[in-house]
Amino acid sequence: MAAVPLQPPPGQRLPLVGGLFQRLFFHHLVLVTVPIVFLGLLLVGIADRSIDETLTRESKEIATQVKGQIDRFIADVEDKLRGMAFALGQVVTDETGAVLPEEAGPWLNRAVANQAYAVFSRLDMVDTLKELVATTDFSAEWSLPEGGSTVVDSILISSRTIMALEQQQEEEIGTFSVVMAVPVMSGFGERVSVLIAVVEADEIRDLVSDIIIGENGLAFLTDHTGLLIAHRNLALVYEGTQYDGLASVTEALDAGPGAIAEIPVTDFVNVGEGLQEEMKAHWANLSFTSFPRWVLVIHRPVGEVNKTINRMRFQVLIVIVVGIALALVSTLVYTRRLVTPIGALVEGANRLSEGDLSYKIPVAGHDELGTLATEFNLMADQLSQIQQRLRRGEHLDTLAKFSRVVAHEIRTTCSGRGSPRMSRNTSM
């Protein structure tokens, strides 16, 4: 079997086999960009979760603040009403504990006129049979306020403060009131009547309707039946809009008292002309001791939320693109620095194969490739010295051969001329 020649055929140069630069560049680029892309996708997921967590945390803070302010409002009103009921029990009952209606009416009117009790728009005092004892309502036909019968029944059963809702609209002027009731006790500690108060609670409505959430977000409040009681659009409230069909309200009413949504739900709200707007909703079940639960819902348009998400995704995309660009440049520089010494070695091998032993490979560093280039140059120097010795040896051999030929020719010539002379001498 014939041996494979170590040199290329005459006239050909050693190539950089298989595109080493392209392979190294591609491999290094993949090794650098894949982690960058993976990290970018991870950042996108983290950003999405971060936005959801931020919205949930913000909704919890709003719900906590709203409930706290409502609690303080109700507690203040309840304290005033209980103080009024205590004073009323001392004033309008006689020594036997019987109620004195002639004293109760003027007392209630003076109380309503007092600025300290301005929050009460109406006061009614009824006995245990729900018969009127005294009132500040001077309408022709008296009747219990809406929800009054319910709260009186609760007072007669448990004696604890209870509340109900009352919403009225007169001549396009809407009012939001709650009905509260407390027992009136005589000086002997007996329950002799019930004091009912209609409390102007527009403060609660304004508290909810004034909540600003993003550009187009809003908050609204419903009672335990889904009846809308506070909303930025008061027309919806005055129309008696029912939101019990919304997923957020349904989920909140099914949850336990005081529960707050951990995961947002999607609501579809009518915006007129048969159109619906998709909302990302967070809810909170506001549980109170004095009246049935209310539901606070915070709506954010999905388009607005997605705009925030897309903005963060775009920022992450910019980071990825910049990272890939930097990786591309650094990989190009690194690959060139790696391949250039190899190309110099190949060029040196080509020059050596052409017989140019004087060519020196540039030594780019002190690494393995630099050591290889140094050794290659030393090998070329040694080959050059060997070649020079060989050439000197061949030159001496040629001179020796030439000397021998010349000497031979001389001897031959001399020998040819000497023979006749010797002949002549012999004949003599």
- Is 374 domain-assigned? no
Q: Rounded mean pLDDT of 238-266?
A: 87
- In this prediction, residue 248 carries a pLDDT of 92
Q: How many domains does the chain have?
A: 2
Last residue of a domain, one of 183, 199, 215: 199
Strand, helix or coil for residue 273: coil
Q: Could you count the other beta carbons within 10 Å of the beta carbon of residue 324?
A: 16
Dihedral Cα 134, 139, 145, 146, nearest 10 deg: 170
- In this prediction, residue 263 carries a pLDDT of 86
56-60, 74-78, 169-173, 189-193: segment of lowest average pLDDT: 169-173
- Is 308 domain-assigned? no
| Burial class (CB within 10 angstroms; exposed 0-12, middle 13-18, buried 19+) of 147 | buried
Whether 408 has a pLDDT exceeding 70, the answer reads: no
- In this prediction, residue 16 carries a pLDDT of 47
Q: Are residues 178 and 83 in the same domain?
A: yes
61-75, 134-148, 369-383, 400-414: segment of lowest average pLDDT: 400-414
Q: Are residues 191 and 223 in the same domain?
A: no
- In this prediction, residue 170 carries a pLDDT of 42
Range of the domain at 84: 71-199
Rounded Cα distance between 388 and 381, Å, is 10
User: Which phi-psi region, left, alpha or beta, contains residue 172 (left: φ > 0; alpha: ψ -120 to 50)?
Assistant: left
Whether 10 has a pLDDT exceeding 70, the answer reads: no
- Is 33 domain-assigned? no
pLDDT tens-digit readout, 38-61: 888 888 888 888 888 888 888 888
State the DSSP code for 4.
P
- Is 375 domain-assigned? no
Whether 242 has a pLDDT exceeding 70, the answer reads: yes
Dihedral Cα 389, 390, 392, 396, nearest 10 deg: 130
Last residue of a domain, one of 181, 199, 217: 199
pLDDT tens-digit readout, 90-99: 777 766 666 7
- Is 376 domain-assigned? no
- Is 214 domain-assigned? yes
Q: Do 125 and 196 touch, CB atoms closer than 8 A?
A: yes
Assessment of whether the complete model's pTM goes beyond 0.75: no
Rounded Cα distance between 353 and 7, Å, is 7
Q: Are residues 188 and 247 in the same domain?
A: no
- In this prediction, residue 327 carries a pLDDT of 84
pLDDT tens-digit readout, 290-337: 666 789 999 988 888 888 888 888 888 888 888 888 888 888 888 777
CATH number for 282: 3.30.450.20
Rounded Cα distance between 203 and 192, Å, is 32
- The alpha carbon of 267 is separated from its chain's Cα centroid by a whole number of angstroms, namely 21
Last residue of a domain, one of 247, 272, 302: 302
